[in-house]
Structure 1
């Protein structure tokens, strides 16, 4: 049983019950509970921030001094982090300035928040100034500090700078973590610089870390982006030899890449391997295959795969329906496309504008004006914007029908 109001507030915040914590704190404050220390108030500021109610977090923060409780560096950082994660960065930066004016020294986590936010904005000079300021403030940069900066640099493609930070990290005597190497492997893989990615992959092993499935997925994805399926397969084999089972992500990456290379046999071989491994095949993975089949005009196999999804109780998405409608529209199968749109509507799904537009045009081409007009009305009811070209296609089809009807009496 929780013994004090302060402990109860902290416990409720940790459990995510911010509303009850607020009520308990208000009750305790009203009763003049001396046990309500800065940690209890900070827990509530943090709880409100994480729950998305940053305005309430600020109100709690502002009432603290009125009750004789001064916010500390942890309180400031909790609110600052709340501003950042909910897109109110200007308020977060303003709070940091307020922190300085109030004479509260930032801690390691304060710097992590600020550096991470400046990196997200691509303001690397500002991030670097803060990073360099830390030792002068007596704050020892740890592996998390470095990883935060490296992650930001890699995300924005500043890979050389990220690699230099790894060198700096080692010179300072801070041991890189597996996350450090994964960030660099992923960054270089996404940039298509696979020799560099492999270099850091090997450095990871030399540092005594065993690559995980996540690491291999980064490498495999990189080779697939570079359209080097031979190396992608080698990485997959190496992964298995190390006793690591391919994950859903691994299979989906490979299925997508083989499909893009029009090697559907290999893509379906990967799908079969995924099913044999007992990994649930979701709508995204099926969608990759359905899309590839539709794009190559193989609607027979696309339909088979689409139907198998229903048989396996895979939840359908509007995206995969749109793929099928596009495929049928391209081959001129107006009624098949129309049937799928009607099926979507019955399930509460809304086709996109392209699906409606293409199907209406194909129906008009087949002189099925009544069906096309009904579909246009349904498109409007669905709240989608029609285009001049769709309406013109319907008008042209009606004109053709009138012309052929008039001509039959000549």
Structure 2
């Protein structure tokens, strides 16, 4: 009796027919735009737009691609071409164009789009639109207009979120009105919105720019008092300000605060702190921070090691000198082994 062989998997389960439509075209355009290949994305659009009629997402994807590429002129040309093809812009389209204009300093052009948007039916300005315009007002240092736009949000039934408050705060900082910026920060706390790293970093940068150490201290105290965990950029800013102004003790306080929160500061923060501490004669404190980073599983930079090594040589602390050399060798060996295993 002949054996009955089972049919191969391909025969038993026929392949599904693959289709290509506007959704797939949109995904392809997004992929090209994400890699900055906007010209190729536009060429694909022109090649397939008749076969696969585009929708609003198609046009907005390309508008966003031109905006991210910083090519406002190409964005305008494509937009007007799209309108001729029957494209009806929505709030996303307007927001993308506004953002492109604002980043080029064309704030008045962005405001014209707001007026145009308000004249259209079913195209009310959104939270993102207002936030974008407030940010644009900050770029041209027009804090008064930024505040007006912020107030218009409430009048239009739009509730400002943390991003809108941060944009307003940034506008005040760019206009060097730090007091009003601090008032916005207090408003956020009073409303229960909460501050994030953008909030703190914005105010710290503003005070750093005008050399107001007291202002920096106020913001830093507020941050630590609330138990907030700053991101690397804010940590670096504070560490540089403290150490460059002969207050490495405050940098050490920040270091201990971060470790107490279970966070290992960036290696470059250790560079700044070790240099600042050693220059003020606090070599043992610098050694302690160096050792703590290693104990937390991080390898200090060669710069931090060389600074500490140099000061131990001057003080003839040969035992400590040998200790940090052995610690560096051990961590570098472990790092090398991890790289080999990953390869």
Are positions 1:105 and 2:53 aligned together? yes
Task: After TM superposition, list the pairs within 5 Å mapping 1:9-408 onto structure 2.
Answer: 31-33=14-16, 36=17, 64=18, 69=19, 71-89=20-38, 91-100=40-49, 103-173=51-121, 174-240=123-189, 243-249=191-197, 250-254=199-203, 257-258=206-207, 261-263=212-214, 264-275=216-227, 280-282=228-230, 284=232, 288-331=237-280, 333-334=282-283, 336-352=285-301, 354-359=303-308, 362=311, 371=321
String of CA shifts for 1:208-265, please: whole Å, max 9, x gaps: 3232232112112332344322111222344455x34332343454456556620154
- Structure 2: which 5+ runs fail to align? 1-8, 334-343
String of CA shifts for 1:70-111, please: whole Å, max 9, x gaps: x222221111112222445454334223314x6333221111
Deviation at 1:180, TM superposition (A): 0.7
Task: Check the 8 A contact 2:67/2:97 in 1, yes or no.
Answer: yes
Q: Which one has a bigger Cα radius of gyration?
A: 1
Alignment partners' CA distance in 1, 2:71 and 2:252:
49
| SS of 1:197 mapped into structure 2 | helix
Deviation at 1:367, TM superposition (A): 7.2
Task: Check the 8 A contact 2:36/2:65 in 1, yes or no.
Answer: no
What is the TM-score of this pair, normalised by structure 1?
0.65
What is the TM-score of this pair, normalised by structure 2?
0.76
String of CA shifts for 1:138-176, please: whole Å, max 9, x gaps: 221111111122122223433232222222223344321
Alignment partners' CA distance in 2, 1:329 and 1:30:
72
Report what 1:40 is aligned to.
none
Report what 1:49 is aligned to.
none
Greater relative CO (CA pairs within 8 A, separation 6+): 2
Deviation at 1:340, TM superposition (A): 3.6
Aligned in 2, Cα 1:126/1:265: closer, same or farther, shift over 3 Å?
closer
Aligned in 2, Cα 1:130/1:172: closer, same or farther, shift over 3 Å?
farther
Aligned length: 318
RMSD: 3.7
| SS of 1:175 mapped into structure 2 | coil
Alignment partners' CA distance in 1, 2:45 and 2:303:
48
